[in-house]
Amino acid sequence: MARKLSWLFGIALISGFLFMIFIGSAYRMGTGKEWQLMDIAGHLPYLRFSLVADRGQLVTEKDYRGDVVLLYFGFTKCEDECPITMLRLSRIMQRLGQDAEHVRLLFITVDPENDTPQVLHQYIAAFDPEHMAGLTGGSRDLEAIVKRYRAANRPEHGKADDISHSNVMYIFDQLGQARLLVMPDDSDEKILNDVRRMIHDAS
């Protein structure tokens, strides 16, 4: 008797699980609007930080509410991914035209010892000082946001001058919800398309 019951229970458990997967995928298909970039809505927490911007003022996520935020972790001495990403961002902002007003770019440093607000200010001036902000802060505040988005921030083992950092852009909507991830090999068109859509969905 108990044996039969346990089998019944097992079958119920497995079919319940399959049913949930089915409902989940049906729901996703039902919304019908697929983003071109990777959709991570619901998987990463709300944007939240308290840091120092490149003009020396204290900023929090509230200063960027109402705008689409593109977030990138890096450091100014980085020679590969960071300048490539920064150039790409400034190119995208140019192509966005008028829509760029509703977009803010945040460059958060993983090397606060070297990247003072002044250094960051000079650095972003080379790319897009109008829409971009370079953020630094106390090691605790920086570690909190790095952890929040599962990014790395420590010197690579065996290399004194290289810090491991994430190579992905996080896109937050006007409410500060993490929505999309930009992979290094995603095309500019995809980013333009999805950012535009996010701006116009809200308005």
Partner 1 sequence: MTQVDMLKWFIPWEPSVTVIAVSVCSAALYIRGCARCRQHFIPKIFFWLGLISLYIVSQTDFDYYAEHEFFMHRIQHVVLHHLGPFLIALGRPGTALAAGMPAAWRRCAEKLLRSPPVQILTGFMNNPVIAVLLFIGLIVFWLIPPIHFIAMLDWRLYRLMNWGMAINGLMFWNLVLNNYAVRPANLSPACRIAMMLAVIPPQIVIGALLFFTPYELYPIYSLCGRAFGMSALADQQLGGLILWIPAAMMSVIGVLMVMGKEWMSRKPT
The binding site for partner 1 (CB under 8 A) comprises 2-3, 5-7, 9-10, 13, 40, 42-45, 73, 147, 150-154, 156-159, 162, 164-168, 181, 183-184
Report the nearest approach of partner 1 to the CB of residue 21 (Å): 11
Closer Cβ to partner 1, 53 or 166, answer by number: 166
Angle, CA of 144, 85 and 143, to the nearest 5°: 10
Least distance CB 200 / partner 1 (angstroms): 27
CB 133 within 8 A of CB 72: no
Phi and psi at residue 172, in whole multiples of 5°? -110, 145
Instruction: Provide, rounded to whole angstroms, the least separation between the CB of residue 110 and partner 1.
Output: 9
Q: Which is nearer to partner 1, 65 or 150 (CB)?
A: 150
How far lies 141's CA from each of 137, 170, 196, in Å? 6, 18, 31
Q: Which is nearer to partner 1, 72 or 117 (CB)?
A: 72
Return the number of the residue (56 or 138) whose C-beta is nearest partner 1.
Answer: 138
Q: Taking the complex as a whole, how short is the minimal distance between the CB of residue 89 and partner 1, in angstroms?
A: 17
CA atoms within 13 A on the CB side of 29: 6
CA-based nearest residue to 39, from 188, 183, 201: 183
- Find the shortest distance in angstroms from Cβ 117 to partner 1: 24
- Relative orientation angle of helices 188-202 and 81-96, to the nearest 10 degrees: 50
Residue (80 or 97) nearer to partner 1, CB: 80
